[in-house]
Structure 1
């Protein structure tokens, strides 16, 4: 028996809030669930406003027509709003992963030496400092360090243009008039992604790679990504990368899109076997060792370049207190939030 549209129009759950209403592309309203089995929320009603433009979001906070924004502003906007006397900022390390993905079936990118060369050619430091304003930390795995299965003892790719050039020569791509080959990176129109791609373009040019950037509205961009119509692209994992089961979803050969998120068409029978074994193993220490080996292999073969984990940044009006952040940057803080009225 199908639920039809009922689950969308009248979703039900057992959490601290209950659904009230939704207007597409405008707002969602929830209210306190007075029958919740745990500690009741101190806030009766929460309204989520859909505000696509980041500048407008900042202005809504500044003038007091919005109370909270989490991971919804550019770093420069956060730094500006920190000077506002009516606002407060919470910041903590997060698990949202920014990554650069390759199409493994591409005639150039199928060679792991090329992918390693790209990793050596990219310098994350200026991007972290100037683009992210140090609101992010370098990543070396799809899993965050907070995960029980995280393995940091994997090959790292510190900025080394000479090593990149050496690998490119070994792969059979000498420089001809300063150019070895062209690659195309597809991006969305999001400002931070376009700026990041422009930095990559400059850095790769230093080792003889011409990076052409193609920018699309997000729906078109994501459609191309899920249909394998790309050479390189960059996206983020939000929340889904906290559990090691993501390795099956992203890197198992049975999970090529659209059956999963293996959009790079990465295939390694050894990795498939390790993933299958880890998912059926009951002993967590054994599972940890299996996932550690998976991470070592992926760091060598590089279907992804794991770029950075973004900090969680929450800006809120001072009338809202009792807020805390967790690594995933979700909305659990609403359970402890309360309104403090000025006297």
Structure 2
């Protein structure tokens, strides 16, 4: 049995530090990263490119109104970066407003070859525009502690950008408050330090709204804002494939986003 998985792979930004505290810079990165090519190369086509609003296209809460990543040519990216004040030095590397080269470290877990290869491809997609990345492949615990020390976003963060991701329940439970709320008590998954007062208000309302239609409206609005702010890029959601022996048991039911290991597979 095969179907979509709600697990996600992200290009996570630290939105509290230069240059990723500049939404224009984040949009340029989003414009240069070709996540469709990543799905074809890394997953051999067995996945779905990420949406700008994080929510999976197969989710009942996915909003078609949310904008997509505004793709850019290198020439367009260069013009935008110059306008934003990120100049090219003689070495062809972007500099900040202080004139110093942007020294951007890109963290990735050493036990995940898919993410390591994706990091390499992303670095090559950004380099023509003068955005130079230093990829650091570290043990998973070190990466986690840099983004999410002791699993507590209140303890801050120590990274520029990283390959990251969340398990299926974040999507299936539509935990947008956990992902995007700026209060660390609520936004327990907000590892990039994203802040938007409107998103805070909308996601707080989602926590207490039980009407499905109203909840869908709130989720759509959050997706529209996040797709413009881009606190991270959702790169892809993998397909999930299960093989089973029908002679042993053939009652499996595929739950969209979760797979066959669910209670419907075991209840008449």
Same fold (TM over 0.5): yes
- Compared CA separation, residues 256 and 101, structure 1 to 2 (3 A): farther
Q: Does 1:151 align with 2:80?
A: no
Instruction: Decide whether the 8 Å contact of 1:102 with 1:231 is kept in 2.
Output: yes
Residue 303 of structure 1: CA displacement? 0.5
Tell me what 1:219 maps to.
Answer: 141
Q: Distance in 1 between matches of 2:259 and 2:215?
A: 26
1:279 alignment counterpart: 207
Distance (Å, rounded) in 1 between the aligned partners of 2:34 and 2:248: 39
Matches within 5 A, 1:1-343: 90-140=1-51, 141-157=53-69, 159-161=71-73, 162-177=75-90, 178-180=92-94, 181-189=102-110, 190-227=112-149, 228-243=157-172, 245-255=174-184, 260-316=188-244, 320-322=248-250, 323-326=252-255, 327-329=257-259, 331-332=261-262, 335-336=265-266
CA 1:315–1:207: 2 relative to 1, 3 Å: farther
Determine helix, strand or coil for the equivalent of 2:145.
helix
Counterpart Cα distance in 2 of 1:136 and 1:198: 19
Higher mean displacement: 157-166 or 93-102: 157-166
- Contiguous gaps of at least 5 residues in structure 1: 1-89, 338-343
More divergent stretch after superposition (115-124 vs 283-292)? 283-292
In the alignment, the residues of structure 2 paired with residue 291 and residue 316 of structure 1 have an alpha-carbon distance, to the nearest angstrom, of 36
Deviation at 1:169, TM superposition (A): 1.6
3-state SS of paired residue (2:28): helix
The gaps in structure 2 that reach 5 residues or longer are 95-101, 150-156
Tell me which of the two structures has the higher relative contact order, counting C-alpha pairs closer than 8 angstroms and 6 or more residues apart: 2
Cα distance in 2 between the residues matched to 1:214 and 1:236: 17
Q: Distance in 2 between matches of 1:315 and 1:225?
A: 35
Contact 1:142–1:241 (Cα < 8 Å) also in 2: no
| TM-score normalised by structure 2 residue count | 0.84
Distance 2:263 2:208 in 1: 34
Q: 1:256 touches 1:265 (CA, 8 Å); kept in 2?
A: no
- After TM superposition, the runs of 4+ consecutive aligned structure 1 residues lying more than 6 A away are none
Shift of residue 318, structure 1, vs aligned partner: 6.8
The two structures have a TM-score, normalised by structure 1, of 0.66
Cα distance between partner residues in 1 of 2:248 and 2:79 = 55
